[in-house]
Structure 1
Amino acid sequence: MPLSAHPLRASIAVSDIQQAVAFYEGKLGLQPLRSGPSATIPDGSRVYAAAGAPALNVYQSTTAGTTAATLATWYVDDLDQIVDELTAAGVGIVRYDQLVHDARGITARAGGGRIAWFQDPDGNTFALEADA
């Protein structure tokens, strides 16, 4: 059976699960579906839902924040509203020197639409995208 027939979940390494919980739950407003162990840390991981399904596994690891690439993207209907809500919660929007951003930090997406990026406390990068 091809992998396209199975659900996919992004896994994000963090250096401190409690700091991550404060960010993912406190600032992003994600609700944990469950917590569990990560390697030798008994309560070192959380699984969060997106659109009602498990979508994001956050776990404590020594490999946290080791890539500058975007690790996961939320596709949203109202990008301006989501960026405003995250900014009000204390989440910084990342601006890249080579791109032109509006006042909120949103830029045009290749192929049309708009995009903004933010990072968690470990420097893991996430995107928010909208078609308009």
Structure 2
Amino acid sequence: MNMKQPRLKLLLDELNDVSGYIVKLRTAFEKISGATIKKDQLKSLIVQLEARREEIISEISKLRQKLKVLKHVSVQEVLKMNPRIIIKETCFAGVTINILGEVYKTTFELGPRALNLQALKELKYQNKGY
């Protein structure tokens, strides 16, 4: 997963650069009057850059989809390990508990118990009146 993130950043940077070049070339193209060789060259370059921009956008989309799948698989693997917090004595009110992004700020003392993700969710939503 970490190998894809730098590639994604490089593509986003390149997309930003290419988009900037396209804007500059279009401005230059509009300023050139008449049908000159330079105007044809600029038009050809703009078309090439726009094609590259579409390729970059497509590749970014594919990488984002792969990252989404990898994150889902990663979460599923962690859930199989059954992450939990064990309170040996007392967890005082005001303590924030976080298991896999599910966050609960205690409003009362909890004591001795184990909380897995499901128990944390139940505790969280039970106290909100859901």
Q: TM-score, normalised by structure 2?
A: 0.19
Name the structure, 1 or 2, with higher relative contact order (CA <8 Å, separation 6+).
Answer: 1
Q: Which has the larger radius of gyration?
A: 2
Q: TM-score, normalised by structure 1?
A: 0.19
Q: Greater strand share, 1 or 2?
A: 1
